[in-house]
Structure formats: structure tokens, C-alpha cells
Amino acid sequence: MATALAGCVARGDDDDADGERLDGEPGDGPPPDHVEITDHDLSRAHIRATCTFEAGPGDRENKVQRNIVTGTVANASATPLERVVVDATVYDESETKLGTYSDQTDTLDSMAIWEFEILVFEEADDIETYDVELETLDW
């Protein structure tokens, strides 16, 4: 997954976006009843950022350490999804919200698993807790 911001493109060290298939039969009924975040984790990772600066020639590649929330979303429904958005909200030790960050996919087939990766732009020492939620499901 690539993240673009302010003239930079960031890529994780391990860009594994391949989805897996679920075992069993797809569930009947609306997708929200059969789509869930099955796991998630907050970790520090090195990100390669290639930036082009207008003031100078060429690209510069820097390696920066940032927080990343990774996890999986499982679509156990019979309906393919056109758009799935996952939000990660991070909080400091006094439970003050520091920010909310997102990742999305434009397709999630029936009986498929999507691996999300959310880049969090907060200092690691400032983050005490976090939560994740499915923000949007379109089918």
C-alpha cells in the first residue's frame, strides 16, 4: 500500500496486499451482519519516503519511523463490497483523542479477507491506546 502526502510517497517495508479466502459458506443477509475486523495491532515500522522538493533537484529517500495499525477485515457475506473504510483513532494517556487515520479498499469479494495498513502520524511515545472500526461499507 502506498500513502501519498505533501509531495511524498510512503511505502511499508512489507507491502503484502494479497487477500485470502475464508472457509465455509457465505452468510445470507446484509453485508454489515457478516463483515468484521478480525484482528488488529499497533506497531512501529520503518517507512521509505521519497520526496521531491521544489527548491532542489531530484528525489530524496528518507527512512522514518512511524506507527502503523495493521489488521484484517473479513467479508463472510455472499455480497462483494465496493468500498470498505477502516478508521484507527489514537489516544494519549489522559484518553484525549490525538487523531483518526484511515485505510480503504475499493473491492472486497465475497468470502475474502483484506489486510489493511493505516499509517499514524503521531509520535509513538504520545500514544497510550487506540481503537479501530469499520467506517464505511458500500455494496
Give the model's pLDDT for residue 33. Answer: 92
pLDDT at 2 over 70: no
How confident is the model over 103-126, as a mean pLDDT? 93
Pairwise CA distance, residues 44 & 123, whole Å:
10
106 residue type, one letter: D
How far is residue 92 from each of residues 19, 46, 58, 96, 129, measured CA to CA in Å? Answer: 32, 22, 38, 5, 7
* Predicted confidence (pLDDT) per residue in 69-84, tens digit: 999 999 999 999 999 9
How confident is the model over 44-49, as a mean pLDDT? 65
135, 115 contact by CB (below 8 A): no
Q: 0.85 cut: is pTM over it?
A: no
45 or 119, higher pLDDT: 119
Pairwise CA distance, residues 97 & 93, whole Å:
10
Question: Picking from 33-42, 60-69, 128-137, which range would have the lowest pLDDT averaged per residue?
Answer: 60-69
Give the model's pLDDT for residue 3. Answer: 42
